[in-house]
Chain A
Amino acid sequence: MATSWNWGIFLQPTPFGDTTYLGWIWLGFEMTILLALSSGILAFLVGSFFGVLRTLPNRFLAFIGTCYVELFRNVPLIIHLFFWVYAMPMLVPESVRDWLYNDLDPMFFTFLMATIGLGLFTGARICEQVRTAIISIPAGQKNAAIALGLTLRQSYLYIILPNAYRRVLPPLTSEMLNMVKNSAVASTIGYIDLTKQASQLLEHAGRPYESFIAITIGYVIINIAIMLIMQFIEKRVRLPGTIGGKA
């Protein structure tokens, strides 16, 4: 490979004159974490809501949950993002459009749309994990709860969900790791994340290999942090007598 390494590039000032190239990568690192947090929270809430919905005895509510999953899981993420940025504003009333375009800072608009797009996309996948976790809880538990006089809501809150969420944790970890990697797609709508900054470095400094190696390290750091946090939570909430827990 005919390339000469130049790691000093990261300490050079950017053409914008605002910071060094390392500063750009750092900004991208922060923005990727920010997007991962916001869309992670949204995905968890939405996924939990529809996941529970799909297990309810009410057929209609379950059907709504199924529709959400099938629609959001089967459409590529990039289409979601393009929809929210380019198509959605055309479908809302003029006043709302004006607010989105002119009152919101364009950076915030991009952040908001990336969060919604990535959050709802990942939410559909988390929904399936929550649903399968709930149906993996033996039906006897729910029946016993009802027999003891708990309402459906109480049986979910106190009996089913606490156990279901413990089972969700491992697949949820992989989903969160996936989501961080998927967040790179937000660079296509102009969100300044790690991937965007790598292509900035490529364009303005002409250093493709160094910049992509740098952001790879960035993604690995974020994902290792998520893995450690999730492992910690898993250990903390583990119950005695269940898989992995001490008897």
Chain B
Amino acid sequence: MKKKTQLAKLVLSFAMLGAISHAAIAEDLTGTLAKIKENGVVVIGHRESSVPFSYYDANQKVVGYSQDYADKIVDAVKEALNMPDLQVKYLPITSQNRIPLLQNGSYDFECGSTTNNVARQQQADFSDTIFIVGTRFLVKESSKIKDIDDLKGKNVVVTSGTTSEVKLNNINDEQKLNIRIITTKDHGDSFRTLESGRAAAFLIDDALLAGERSRAKKPSQWVIVGKPLSYEAYGCMLRKGDTQFKALMDKEISNYQTSGQAEKSFNRWFKEPIPPKGLNMNFDLSPEMKALFAAPNDKALD
């Protein structure tokens, strides 16, 4: 009798060991996912005023087109780790501190308005592209400016550190346009510079121009003009070399885009009144975006 119990115990322990090691193989978590599992917390980096990608609504809640993707990814993480009660924390980031804070583990991933480019790929990894923007000009309608050639010898404002700044400098040098370039620290300051008359045009991603225009005193005064000088792909940013987490994000984004949910989210944020003030971006889905939704990918466009 005693022997039997011992045998049963032994068999049972082996069975349990097997179950544990099996579970361990199934989860074998690395990088960010292991960190999230261990801490029971996922920290999302977000922007404070990248309208309508990632910003605060009237209740100081983070909302926006990119935030929709972040929410999707959190759901996928909860499911993959089998942690329905996973705690979600938010950390506001800026374009200056987003890379260092990601690297030092302050937050786990961010979906905002971060361009996936070759230089940044040295420092961080990017998920599948969530948005494609074209770099264009915002001008006063009455100025009759149609394209970059009309800006010869004029003042043009760009936000410092953006790809638009690079493009404008390059074209200005190549074509000897003598454009006088003003740089400011953020899009709000750039728009103020344009609105005050200090600059004749504001060059930046068209989706952001639509956002700035919607906040103008008289939005109808301002028009987005010109052939895009370049295209940029926004992606969600995660720590470099974290293939497991990237695979999870890419799978989720790809499902989201091919299932038509992404287009719904686009319409919600770009064609309807959005919080906090009920402004409307009036911004159409570009052919580049349509192509992206049909075939999700993580290509940088520079």
Summarize A's interface: helix, strand, loop or mixed. helix
Contact partner of A187 (CB less than 8 A), chosen from B155, B162, B185, is B185
**Chain B residue nearest to A82 in the complex (CB):** B189
Cross-chain contact of A101 among B120, B155, B170, B181 (Cβ < 8 A):
B155
Q: Knowing A190-B184, A203-B160, A206-B123 touch, does A86 contact B192 (C-beta < 8 A)?
A: yes
User: Could you tell me if B198 and A101 are in contact, using CB atoms closer than 8 angstroms?
Assistant: yes
B239 proximity list for chain A (CB < 8 A): 2
Does any Cβ of A come within 8 Å of B40's Cβ?
Answer: no
User: Known contacts A16-B166, A196-B160; is A203 also within 8 Å of B155 by CB?
Assistant: no
Contacts of A86 in B (CB 8 A): 192, 196
Answer yes or no: A166 CB below 8 A from chain B CBs. no
Instruction: Tell me if B198 and A16 are in contact (CB < 8 A).
Output: no
Query: Which of B104, B192, B196 has the largest count of A CB atoms less than 10 A from its CB?
Result: B196
* A102 and B155 contact, CB distance less than 8 A: yes
Across the interface, which residues of A come within 8 angstroms of B119, CB to CB? 15, 204-206
Question: Per-position contact with B for A59-103: 1 when CB-CB < 8 Å, else 0?
Answer: 000000000000000000000000000100110000001000110
User: Which A-chain residue is minimally distant from B240 (CB atoms)?
Assistant: A2
| A110 nearest CB neighbor, chain B only | B182
Chain B nearest CB from A82 CB (Å) reads 9
Complexed CA–CA distance, A30 and B20 (Å): 64
A188 vs B183: C-alpha distance in the bound complex, in angstroms?
Answer: 9
| Contact B160–A206 (Cβ < 8 Å) | no
Contact in complex: A208, B183 (CB < 8 Å): no
**What chain A residues lie within 8 Å of B198 (beta carbons)?**
89, 101, 106
* Distance (whole angstroms) from the CB of A33 to the closest CB of chain B: 20
**A2 with B103: CB separation less than 8 A:** yes
Please determine whether B180 and A203 come into contact, CB atoms closer than 8 angstroms.
no
Would you call A106 and B182 a contact (CB within 8 A)?
Answer: yes
Question: Which of B122, B169, B198 has the most C-beta atoms of chain A within 10 angstroms of its own C-beta?
Answer: B198
- Chain B 179-210 near chain A by CB (<8 Å), digits 1 or 0: 01111110000001000111100000000000
**Chain B residues whose C-beta falls within 8 Å of the C-beta of A101 in the assembled complex:** 155, 196-198
- Decide yes or no: A2 and B104 within 8 Å by CB, A16-B166, A17-B173, A203-B95 being known contacts: yes
Cα–Cα distance between A199 and B159 once the two chains are bound (Å): 12
Measured in the bound complex, the distance between the Cα atoms of B172 and A17 in whole Å is 11
Report if B99 contacts A (CB, 8 A).
yes
Contacts known (A3-B103, A86-B192, A190-B184); A203 close to B170, Cβ less than 8 A: no
Is B96 in the interface zone, CB < 8 Å from A?
Answer: yes
Whether A106 contacts B173 in the complex (CB less than 8 A), given A206-B99, A206-B119, A209-B100, comes out as no
**B18 an interface residue at 8 Å Cβ cutoff?**
no
Cβ–Cβ < 8 Å partners of A209 in chain B: 100
Q: What residues of chain B have their CB less than 8 Å away from a CB belonging to chain A?
A: 95-96, 99-100, 103-105, 119-120, 122-124, 155, 160-162, 166, 169-170, 173, 180-185, 192, 196-199, 239-240
